[in-house]
Amino acid sequence: MQNFIEDNQLDEEEQEFFEHYKFVADKGQDFLRVDKFLMDRIPNTSRNKIQVAASSGNILVNKKAVKSNYRVKPFDEISVVLPYPPREIELIPENIPLNILYEDDEVLVINKQAGLVVHPGYGNYTGTLVNGLIYHFNNLPNGNTNNRPGLVHRLDKNTSGIMVVAKTEFAMTHLANQFFERTTERRYNAIVWGDFEEDEGTVTGNVARSLKNRKVMDVFPEGDIGKHAVTHYKVLKRYGYVSLIECKLETGRTHQIRVHMQHIGHSLFNDNEYGGDKILKGTSFAKYKQFITNCFEILPRQALHAKTLGFTHPTTKEWLQFNSALPDDMQQVLAKWDNYLVNRELEE
């Protein structure tokens, strides 16, 4: 019997872009071609699709790319990345401004603004990052997914920050494997409700769709529901009723930071899906309520920014790391909290 390892570390968002499979050949494995080996084990696929994956470097044996005629040996670890079938969505180029931090022949690094949907989907067929990308760049790789050219990961609509885009098929394959293997570095800044007793900590808890509301995620600390998720956090500055923190993702589940912070009682400031759009800490005085209302008007979204992204360049193999400053809306809110604390101390 073949040992099939289902990848429980895979982000739901990444699953929308690529299928990932991993197999381990048992000790009695015959020397079978890897394309035949995979075709017998992956449902609803074809030999041609697998051969295309091999020619693109998407079939790894013991973490090294192989050709489709490679002969599988006992105890080989075989992993394969396959794009999902294309969706029939017509992409319309649109002149959407892009904040480009870095560009070469292989990759593009951008600083995504809050409010921008990453790719077309139900209810968002235009006005997305992808519409802007195809306006500014020709022949982006699509990995057979015609509504997501160049994409290997994404951010929520109302999360700002750094993303990498592939400009070639080779770069797409290489970057997709880095996200799959969790060798990228991703750090976020967030404003959350409440103060922390400790300076840093870790949240561990499976993440899955809520059983009560399928539009949001929930944390399941015990049992088999959901996917293993780990978020490391560090307090950067304390404001009493809110805190500025850094989050480092060990895994990358859908809404992971947002739902993990809610789970430990520190919902993101003005996160309307996870309870952060209410006054969770502070006083009941009208002056304080107005202060919070003013902050919400300045920052009409969850206070989350993808500040740092690091990855290995597909061609040069150089480690690249990019950082971006907090966007203006988060900076303005933090400045208001600074002033609030000063005035509060003077009153006391």
Q: 243: which 2 tokens?
A: 């805190």
How many domains would you assign to the chain? 3
Shared-domain flag, residues 136 and 228:
no
Shared-domain flag, residues 231 and 283:
yes
Is 9 contained in some domain?
Answer: no
Mean pLDDT of all residues in 332-344: 90
Mean pLDDT of all residues in 209-216: 87
pLDDT at residue 122, as a whole number? 63
Shared-domain flag, residues 328 and 209:
yes
pLDDT at residue 299, as a whole number? 98
Shared-domain flag, residues 166 and 201:
no
Q: Which of 65, 68, 38, 39 is nearest to 51 (CA)?
A: 68
Model pLDDT for residues 270-312, shown as the tens digit of each residue: 999 999 999 999 887 899 999 999 999 999 999 999 999 999 9
From the candidates 11, 35, 76, 156, give the one annotated as an active-site residue: 156
Shared-domain flag, residues 163 and 278:
no
> 198: how many CB neighbours lie within 10 A of its CB?
8
Q: Specify whether the CB–CB gap between 230 and 202 falls below 8 A.
A: yes
Q: Specify whether the CB–CB gap between 162 and 306 falls below 8 A.
A: yes
Instruction: Indicate the DSSP class of residue 42.
Output: S
Q: 209: which 2 tokens?
A: 């769709």
Is 46 contained in some domain?
Answer: yes
Length of the chain: 348
| Greatest mean pLDDT range, 12-26, 163-177, 182-196, 217-231 | 182-196
pLDDT at residue 17, as a whole number? 60
> What DSSP string describes 187-249?
EEEEEEES--SSSEEEEE-EEEE-SS-TTSEEEE-SSSSSB--EEEEEEEEE-SSEEEEEEEE
Distance, in Å, from the CA atom of 243 to the CA atom of 196, rounded to the nearest integer, reads 8
Residue numbers of the domain that contains 105: 100-181
Is 89 contained in some domain?
Answer: no
Shared-domain flag, residues 208 and 161:
no
Partner residues linked to 246 by β-bridges:
189, 234
Shared-domain flag, residues 105 and 233:
no
Instruction: Judge whether 195 counts as a catalytic residue.
Output: no
Shared-domain flag, residues 147 and 276:
no
Q: Which of 204, 193, 229, 216 is nearest to 303 (CA)?
A: 193
CATH of the domain at 69: 3.10.290.10
Distance, in Å, from the CA atom of 61 to the CA atom of 81, rounded to the nearest integer, reads 12
Q: What is the mean pLDDT of the chain?
A: 87
Mean pLDDT of all residues in 101-120: 94
pLDDT at residue 88, as a whole number? 61
Domain boundary among 83, 109, 125: 83
